[in-house]
Structure 1
Amino acid sequence: MSNQSGIIADQEVLNAIAELPTRYASVVAKIEQTDEPVIKLHDTFHDLDALREFIDGNEDTPYYIIIHDDPKSIFIAYTPDYAPIRSKMLYASSKIAFQRQIGANNLKSFMFTEPGDIDEKSWTDSTAREELMTESELEKLQIDAQQHTMRNSGAVKLVSAHNSTANTLGFKVVDTGNIKPLLEKYNLLVFKIDLGTEEIKIKNKINTSYSAEIIERISSDSPSYCIFHKSGNYYFILTCPSGSAIKERMVYAANKRAFLISLKDSDDIEIKRTFEIGDSDELDLSEFNDESAEVNTQSAAKPKFNKPKAPSRRR
């Protein structure tokens, strides 16, 4: 597969966008995931009603939508909550390249998750604050809100050399300082962010007898942070299951780095590797194999050959 950020639109899509006849006529494009992914034309619609009727019947499929308007057309990355997380990531990472092909300076860009968002007021009503926000603006608002929460709740600000907002934890961590001892008793801890109490709490303490059990024990209906302890190593897993709300995903993503710093500073936990997955069954369990075991397995798998005898000299 080619680099996701390099996925571009084929000429049919570009022609359809250039030929949109009237205001609010639209083009719907879709990433065709083949060996060489490409953005292809899916359909065109003459007005918003026809477009919404189409979107209403597609609850789990992301699309790019371009709506003709003046002076700037409307570009929508439509990623419904029930779309697979990998599809959401693919559309997010390819969006800027597609916009450049169309002409980014002539677009108003939005990210919507509900069919009802596709409405004129979403991009014209100045009072609809969250509907007017682009993806990056919405994420910034979420981070700002977390910082405000931190200042008012007494949460600890984590300081780095760069003093980045990504290192600022907007929630109190319950059991800070006791997490490492817990990981001596249990090899899997599952954490959740409680927006109501503004805390990161331990949701489950689990002893798994085999690595595959992780998949069974991770939450399938909401995002979570997980720490897995095996052979002296600590692994961090961020899960965002299909169907989890975009607000939840953003909160977990925005606090991930700061939570990892908190683990290191407060509990002396060094994470060997971090995993970010959608549903739990996307976790590659082979990553938890002991390196020594892997080496031995590879050595055992190699066929052994007897060293050939040197040819005898002729006299």
Structure 2
Amino acid sequence: MSTQSGITADKALLDKLATDASEGVIIIVGKISDDLSIVEFKGTHSSIDELKANLTEEPSYIFIKDSNCSKPDQYQFISYVPDESHVRLKMIYASTKNTIVRQIGTNSIDKQLLFTEPSEFTDDLFNEELESTLKNLVLSESEKSRIMINEQQREMRMMQSQKLVSQNNGTASSLTFNVNIENNQSIKDLLSKDNVISFKIDTINENVEILNTLSIEKPEELVLTVDHPSYTLYKNGDLIYFIYCCPSGSKVKDRMLYASNRLGFINYLNSTEKIELVKTIEIGEPEELEISLISNSSFEQKEAREEEEKKASQNSSTKFSRPKGPSRKKRM
């Protein structure tokens, strides 16, 4: 079930969409406000070239109609969400889209498209001969991802004879790639020397290999790469944490590759390396990592913290419990 963000279009945008009856091509742009409260009217353009010249790396909603096409009263509703956009913004734009469509009215929308690059905007948007092409573009983000994953699987099957794990639902239990550690060292032994080990997937050599190792004194010193997704093991005292980081600037193919192999790599660590993970953490940007999640250094400390949180929760429930009403006086 899709979630809704609760963000709605402001009156200026709705009025512009409802009343603009200009001749030729009409392009209206809306963007979600900085405080994430409304979709604001941001301006108009009179040509595709003018629109493309003003596009940035920020997502936007773009409405285009042409009085000279077969459906002059209907807009092409385009969610423009560049690959470089922050993951949170992508989610917000995706969850707000249906609300905007309902506000405008489905009768005013011809097609809903998802574009990620300026080059996808062309003057052929209203060319009836490209109907079949447009149908291929009218896909949700999940449908696009599923198609790309299937294509990736097909390519990899051709590269190696072994049967690959399913990557369609993110529940793959085995690893597509070999784990390659220099001198065949044990990851568990390496953690006894350096308490931080980051891994990357080398698609050329088809290996999961060590990106870097580091020894740190406290959790606050942990540094994660921002260039691409990564898997990181952090040993804090007796406890080992697994961190899957997928920055917003990562390529779509890399995101899918790391996501689909995450569970397989964890199972490899558990079964082959005999590494017991106390917690698995998934984040987008490195700065999203909450230090409190990796601050426990022993099982006793972990249990003590959980007990404190439990007591705090109980005290909070007691503090805000509903007060009893005044007692009624008995009639004499």
Q: TM-score scaled by structure 1?
A: 0.72
Counterpart of 2:64 in structure 1 is 67
Asked if the contact 2:6/2:96 (under 8 Å) is kept, the reply is yes
Measured after TM superposition, the shift of residue 139 of structure 1 is 0.4
Asked if the contact 2:29/2:41 (under 8 Å) is kept, the reply is yes
Counterpart of 2:322 in structure 1 is none
List aligned pairs for 1:20-39, cutoff 5 A.
20-21=20-21, 22=23, 24-34=25-35, 37-39=37-39
Tell me which of 133, 147, 151 is aligned to 2:157: 151
Max radius of gyration: which structure? 2
Q: Distance in 1 between matches of 2:288 and 2:138?
A: 33
List aligned pairs for 1:172-191, cutoff 5 A.
172-175=177-180, 178-191=186-199
Matched position secondary structure for 1:212: helix
Counterpart of 1:76 in structure 2 is 78
Matched position secondary structure for 2:198: strand
1:244 maps to a residue whose letter is S
Asked if the contact 2:180/2:208 (under 8 Å) is kept, the reply is no
Tell which deviates more after alignment, 84-93 or 252-261. 252-261
Counterpart of 2:324 in structure 1 is none
Q: CA, structure 1 residues 40+236, in 2 after alignment: closer, same or farther (shift >3 Å)?
A: farther
Measured after TM superposition, the shift of residue 237 of structure 1 is 2.6
1:220 maps to a residue whose letter is V
Tell me which of 206, 223, 229 is aligned to 1:198: 206
Counterpart of 2:119 in structure 1 is 116
Which string of whole-angstrom CA distances, capped at 9 and with x for unpartnered residues, describes residues 124-158 of structure 1? 65569986754223201221123324534255655
Q: CA, structure 1 residues 254+40, in 2 after alignment: closer, same or farther (shift >3 Å)?
A: farther
1:63 maps to a residue whose letter is S
Q: CA, structure 1 residues 265+170, in 2 after alignment: closer, same or farther (shift >3 Å)?
A: closer
Which string of whole-angstrom CA distances, capped at 9 and with x for unpartnered residues, describes residues 83-121 of structure 1? 333323322333333334344684433332322222244
Q: Distance in 1 between matches of 2:267 and 2:148?
A: 20
Q: Distance in 1 between matches of 2:205 and 2:138?
A: 29
* Residue identity (%): 32
Measured after TM superposition, the shift of residue 10 of structure 1 is 2.5
| Correspondence 1:223 to 2:225 | no
Asked if the contact 1:155/1:172 (under 8 Å) is kept, the reply is no
2:54 maps to a residue whose letter is F
Q: Distance in 1 between matches of 2:289 and 2:147?
A: 31
Asked if the contact 2:165/2:176 (under 8 Å) is kept, the reply is no
Q: CA, structure 1 residues 39+221, in 2 after alignment: closer, same or farther (shift >3 Å)?
A: same
Q: TM-score scaled by structure 2?
A: 0.69
Counterpart of 1:303 in structure 2 is none
Tell which deviates more after alignment, 116-125 or 196-205. 116-125
Q: CA, structure 1 residues 195+286, in 2 after alignment: closer, same or farther (shift >3 Å)?
A: same
2:170 maps to a residue whose letter is A
Counterpart of 2:316 in structure 1 is none
Which string of whole-angstrom CA distances, capped at 9 and with x for unpartnered residues, describes residues 51-79 of structure 1? 12221xx2x32212122265463222222
Counterpart of 1:89 in structure 2 is 91
Q: Distance in 2 between matches of 1:260 and 1:102?
A: 46
Asked if the contact 2:146/2:168 (under 8 Å) is kept, the reply is no
Q: Distance in 2 between matches of 1:198 and 1:18?
A: 54
2:279 maps to a residue whose letter is K
Q: CA, structure 1 residues 123+136, in 2 after alignment: closer, same or farther (shift >3 Å)?
A: farther
| Correspondence 1:209 to 2:213 | no
Q: CA RMSD in A?
A: 3.8
1:38 maps to a residue whose letter is I
Asked if the contact 2:84/2:248 (under 8 Å) is kept, the reply is yes
Q: Distance in 2 between matches of 1:145 and 1:275?
A: 25
Counterpart of 2:171 in structure 1 is 167
Residue ranges of structure 1 left out of the alignment (5+ in a row)? 299-315
Measured after TM superposition, the shift of residue 172 of structure 1 is 0.8
Which string of whole-angstrom CA distances, capped at 9 and with x for unpartnered residues, describes residues 211-245 of structure 1? 12222xx2222222223232443433333335333
